[in-house]
Amino acid sequence: MLEANTNIIRLNGAEKHFGAVRALNGVDFHVVSGECVGLVGHNGAGKSTLMHMVAGTLRPDGGEIAVRGNAETEYSVARALKLGIRCVFQELSLCPNLSIAENTRINHPALTGFGWRRKAAALIAAKLDEIFPDHGISADDVAGDLSIGRRQMVEVARAFTVTRDPLDLVILDEPTSSLDAHTAGQLLAFVRRFVASGGSCILISHVLGEVLQNADRIVVMRDGKVVAADAATAFDRDRLVATMGGAEAREKIATEFAAARPAGSPVRVRARPARQEDGKELVARAGEIIGLAGLAGHGQTDLLLAIFAAATRRKPGIEVTAPVALVAGDRQSDGIFPQWSISENIGIRSLSQLRKGLLISPQREAALAEFWKQKIGIRTPDMANNIFSLSGGNQQKALFARALGSDAEIVLMDDPMRGVDIGTKLEVYELVREEAAKGRTFLWYTTETEELDNCDHIHVFKNGRIVAHLGRDELTEEKIIQSSFGDAA
Amino acid sequence: MTLLRTLTAKPWIWSFLGALLVWLATIAFTGGYGGGGMVTAALSLAVFTVIVGVGQMFVITLGPGNVDLSLPANIGLASAVAMKVMGGSDSMIVVGLLAAIACGAAIGAVNYLLIWALRIPPIIATLSASFIIQSIDISYGRGLQIKPPPGFASFTNWQILGIPVLAILTVLFTIGAAIALQRMIYGRSVLAIGQNIRAAWLAGVNVGRIRFLTYTLSGALGGIDGALLAGYFRGANVDIGNEYLLASIAVVVIGGTSVAGGKANVPGVWGAALFLVLLLTMLNTFGVSAGVRLLLTGLIIVGVITVAGGEKALR
Amino acid sequence: MLRSLLPALSLALVVIAIAWLNPRAISYFGFTLMLNLAIPIALATIAQMFVIAGNELDLSIGTFVGFVGCVTATWLKDAPLLGVIILVGAIGVYALLGALIHLRNLPSIVVTLGMSFVWQGLAILVLPKPGGKAPDWLLSLMAFKPPYIPFPIIAALVIAAVVHFGLMRTSYGVILRGSGGNPAALRRAGWSLLRTKITLFALTGLFGVLSGMALIGITTSADANIGNGYTLLAIAGVILGGGEFVGGRVSPIGAVLGALTLALAASPLLTFMHIPPDWQVAANGAILIIVLAARVLISRRER
């Protein structure tokens, strides 16, 4: 009986598959009332999938969900909301065409009848005042007109507003990703007050310091499983990093890594971010691997896209001297052609080389695909199969094959290892270093610090600008976090 | 058995089956009388739908939101331009045809210019353009019924062994279109853009140029269609293209091309065009009224898209 | 800021142009005459606006208006009960289309293009030859001459106010617009997208019915092709009124202003400018392009 009262939610043996990808592999997870649970793990470890289950937006393929000790067979978003469980999703869920007050109304079925607009406006304004005292947002502002940071503030504040339904558990998935250090601090202080007053929170963050300082208990996930769960005081940064995995990879890279390349090779890319005010710029020479680091969404992708666009049309501030190819990180929206076979997906970047006369030669296309199947190890019986017959990691390999099989001398990588298993990663790292040794230039944006070990130089980004330039030997996670956050580590 | 299975796996087979069924139903009604003549007539008429249908297919394959609503106005204007340039003289046939193609291509290019410069959805761009084209046509072709040169009129009606020559030429053209779609950089690029325009750009496809070419191609095909229609029906007029707005979209959809973009089907355009023409012939043979004919045509289109649907929308 | 004033600005420009070309037109009778067809156009525009709010498009609204007109001039006069049942049933068909489009994930432009033939066919079946007569109560309603302000202007104000309140101020109106703005977020908040789509399509049907009835109240008799031009007018009106095709950004007041602009620009202005009727269709296209171009310029400046 005691457990039934204190456990807000409990999942037993939760499982979820997406096609060939096993996102969750029998996970046990629970949250007690009045605690803040920190959830950490690399991209693709299954954190988001697990949280979608807690919020009711995804149904598990196997396992049980119980809320306050009662088994829930028909668990859904509506049910979760009724039971006082809410989620602030990583991707923004405001309606850009509606005002802040109207967006608040969407989450509160009880806000109806005469005067609902005034009530909604008062509700959200009071919560914004409480969490972010100097927010400067009006309830009449249209969501689409706000900056991304302010939208995130609204979204967090909205999750903590209460009308008819209770509020017991709030899931915060990377809530500080678009906030500056000051507002991030305000939010985390509020989370601690909320937990102290008896509420519960799940805090997901890439900034391990945030989790270590604010969580009562930390759950570590890896490859769709929970690999450690303990009181926060039992962890320090090194233990967290070690448990999350990737340490072996790091050692392997460190031992294999060759000496720095000669500085005299020709300049391939010279680029300054549009918002850069000082003289800092990114210079990449033939054979170099340049890392773009910093928190997610701080202008790294924008710079890569600007360089990509500058290869075909002249742009001020960016100089590109060789053909460019891009490896997308968000496979579904930026990379994959869902109707096509694996070979067609690889061949699209090289169509003019695959031609015989006016027509594309099927033999040459197949030969290109077969070459990269062997070289990069794409695991499939037939390259003529649809691209979706591959697992996520192998789809990503096909995208690498598309770029590396082309005539591009410069390869841009937009955080391409999201949600990819460690084995694939090691294979691709090796290939990238091999290609760089042959003279190709790589610009590599990554959110995973240990990948930066592959790079010759690292540029750290903050608010659309380059704020620091690190050589390979100066690289530590602390240094990057320090630069990413300015003075607040 | 395996032949049957590979055939039923092709999305275009259904439109041909539908056409066959409608044909059988009609000759069963007439007691076998006029079956051959019906095929000849259907081929002659289907040609005009196929030509604009192929243009519309490339446009729709560009992905959600892409559609050319200016085709009817385009056909009307091009028919007038062709007839005026030909001026009833056989020696001017080629020049007239070229003028019609140029007129159509110019309309297509303007369409894309509007889409690109004003960043407006193709639906509203081609719609606004069609308003203007319509007016130009009304004032340009004002009042007079312009006759085609006798040589052109007989060319568009020319048959060999009951098979219209125009249909044979159009089959050759569609084979060319199918090759362009699957085996040329242009076609591959169209398919890539239709599946995911952003991914296509990031994979090095010149998105702007391919879209420009596609709208221009659709316009040029509308232009040539206008000239041929004027020859076949012995005269240009403003309303000559009206039925080709729905027809061009319908043959694309019924023919198995995905309205979500990125998946096109050339043979299906032929099957669907024959199906629609034969359906009209059948309803006429049965003696149903114009109201019932429209009603059934509409219901069949809604029915086909409902059965074939389940993918993301055209907008 | 400037952008939201654009619909009112376009209308003012057209009125000023008319006043300059023919000052006598700016009078009670002038407006009553010039805005003769503004009410059905405004209602059809509002109808189109509802589907556009849900990221869909209705290419059948014109023939639907024609069908409603034919029913109004025949059944509604001769057998009112049956007429009402048919019209309510037609709204039900719209609701079903909304459900079908949502459940089967169909492209609305193909479905409604097909439906445009269905409505036209039905219209011809109901009224094979032009004719029929509007019910007397409808005739006297549309011929209403209030003091001081012409009836079309009062009607436009009422339509704009009612729809603005319903869609922009009520709590369910927010959900309807949200379904166009971010459907995924709405679903996550526990709302039914099927219900919003059905509601939006039913509202389109309802305003289509009102438009057809108003049209017959003015023209007194019907014709199966009477509404054909309304599909394009309605889309143009929504866009002129500041609406956008995706993202749930629509404005009922803007849509009514857009409809009035089109009604004035379509024939009175051009007649005063001595532009031959041949070019009146082109003028509609040109106005659309000019307004869209102005919008692009303004949003570039504001960025």
The interface predicted TM-score of the complex, written ipTM, equals: 0.89
Residue C211 to residue B275: CA distance in whole angstroms: 36
Q: How confident is the model at residue A150 (pLDDT cuts 50, 70, 90)?
A: confident
Q: How confident is the model at residue A3 (pLDDT cuts 50, 70, 90)?
A: very low
pLDDT, average across residues B161-178: 92
| Domain around A122 | 2-246
Residue A489 lies in a domain: no
Burial track A349-388 (b if 16+ CB lie within 10 A, e otherwise):
bbbeebeeeeebeeeebbebbeebbeebebebeebeeebe
Residue A346 to residue A373: CA distance in whole angstroms: 10
Contacts of B134 (CB under 8 A, 6+ apart): B73, B76, B238, C281, C282
Residue in this structure with the two tokens 């701080």, named with its chain if needed: A298
Q: Which residues in chain B are closer than 8 Å to A335, comparing Cβ atoms? A: 199, 202-203
On the question of pLDDT at A248 being above 60, the answer is: no
Here the tokens at position B64 are: 């959600």
Residue A382 to residue A341: CA distance in whole angstroms: 9
Residues of B with CB under 8 A from a CB of A: 179, 183-185, 188-189, 191-192, 195-196, 198-200, 202-206, 262-263
Give A298's DSSP letter.
Answer: S
A230 shares its domain with A305: no
Contacts of A273 (CB under 8 A, 6+ apart): A299, A302, A303, A306, A461, A464, A465, A466
Q: How confident is the model at residue B201 (pLDDT cuts 50, 70, 90)?
A: very high
Prediction pTM value? 0.84
Residue A428 lies in a domain: yes
Q: How confident is the model at residue B242 (pLDDT cuts 50, 70, 90)?
A: confident
Residue B271 to residue B249: CA distance in whole angstroms: 14
Q: Which of A246, A272, A302 is the last residue of a domain?
A: A246
A273 shares its domain with A410: yes
pLDDT, average across residues A380-398: 85
First to last CA, chain C: 12
A239 shares its domain with A285: no
Facing residue for C171 by CB, picked from A55, A93, A105: A105
Nearest CA in chain C to A114: C170
A372 shares its domain with A390: yes
Nearest C-alpha of chain B: how many angstroms from C242? 13
A337 shares its domain with A475: yes
Q: Which residues in chain C are closer than 8 Å to B276, comparing Cβ atoms? A: none
Residue C20 to residue C26: CA distance in whole angstroms: 10
Number of domains composing chain A = 2
A377 shares its domain with A284: yes
DSSP 3-state of C22: coil
Contact C78, C127 (CB under 8 A): no
Here the tokens at position A388 are: 């979706």
A29 shares its domain with A88: yes
Nearest CA in chain C to A80: C190
Largest CA distance in chain A: 78
A189 shares its domain with A240: yes
Contact A56, A79 (CB under 8 A): yes
On the question of pLDDT at A114 being above 90, the answer is: no
Q: Which residues in chain C are closer than 8 Å to B70, comparing Cβ atoms? A: none
* Strands lying side by side in the sheet with A70-71: A21-32, A7-18, A62-67, A70-71
Nearest C-alpha of chain A: how many angstroms from B110? 23
On the question of pLDDT at B137 being above 80, the answer is: yes
Residue A103 to residue A85: CA distance in whole angstroms: 18
Q: Which helix (H) or strand (E) holds A203?
A: strand A200-204
Nearest CA in chain C to B117: C293
Residue A363 lies in a domain: yes
Contact A146, A98 (CB under 8 A): no
| Domain around B134 | 13-23+32-308
Nearest C-alpha of chain B: how many angstroms from A107? 27
Q: pLDDT tens, A183-235?
A: 888 999 999 999 999 999 999 887 778 889 999 999 998 878 898 888 988 88
Q: Which of A227, A246, A265 is the last residue of a domain?
A: A246
**CATH number of residue B137's parent domain:** 1.10.3470
Nearest C-alpha of chain A: how many angstroms from B270? 23
Q: How confident is the model at residue A44 (pLDDT cuts 50, 70, 90)?
A: low
pLDDT of B6: 64
Nearest C-alpha of chain B: how many angstroms from C14? 19
C104:B306 CB<8 A: yes
pLDDT, average across residues A353-379: 89
A339:B263 CB<8 A: yes
Nearest C-alpha of chain A: how many angstroms from B2? 20
Facing residue for B127 by CB, picked from C104, C235, C276: C235
pLDDT of B315: 37
On the question of pLDDT at B68 being above 90, the answer is: yes
Q: Which residues in chain B are closer than 8 Å to A352, comparing Cβ atoms? A: 185
A397 shares its domain with A332: yes
**CATH number of residue A264's parent domain:** 3.40.50.300
A96:C178 CB<8 A: no
Chain A partners (3+ C-beta pairs within 8 A): B, C
Nearest CA in chain B to C111: B302
pLDDT of C216: 94
On the question of pLDDT at A480 being above 80, the answer is: no
Q: How confident is the model at residue A389 (pLDDT cuts 50, 70, 90)?
A: confident
Residue B3 lies in a domain: no
A29 shares its domain with A40: yes
Low-confidence spans in chain C with pLDDT less than 50: none
Q: pLDDT tens, B3-36?
A: 666 665 667 787 888 888 888 888 888 887 777 8
Mean pLDDT of chain B: 87
pLDDT of C189: 86
Q: Which of A191, A217, A246 is the last residue of a domain?
A: A246
Residue C144 to residue C139: CA distance in whole angstroms: 9
Residue A208 lies in a domain: yes
C175:A57 CB<8 A: no
Instruction: Compute how many other C-beta atoms are within 10 angstroms of the C-beta atom of residue B145.
Output: 10
Contact A387, A341 (CB under 8 A): yes
Number of CB pairs < 8 Å for A and B? Answer: 59
Q: Which residues in chain B are closer than 8 Å to C109, comparing Cβ atoms? A: 67, 123, 313-315
Contact A236, A249 (CB under 8 A): no
Residue B314 lies in a domain: no
Number of domains composing chain B = 1
Facing residue for C106 by CB, picked from B246, B299, B309: B309
**Range of lowest pLDDT (A123-127, A284-288, A296-300, C15-19):** A296-300
Contacts of B194 (CB under 8 A, 6+ apart): B61, B62, B63, B66, B258, B260, B261, B262, B263, B264
A156 shares its domain with A265: no
B298:C117 CB<8 A: yes
Q: Which residues in chain B are closer than 8 Å to C118, comparing Cβ atoms? A: 294-295, 298-299, 302
Three-state secondary structure of B108-149: HHHHHHHHHHHCCCHHHHHHHHHHHHHHHHHHHCCCCCECCC
Q: How confident is the model at residue A43 (pLDDT cuts 50, 70, 90)?
A: low
A234 shares its domain with A280: no
Residue B233 lies in a domain: yes
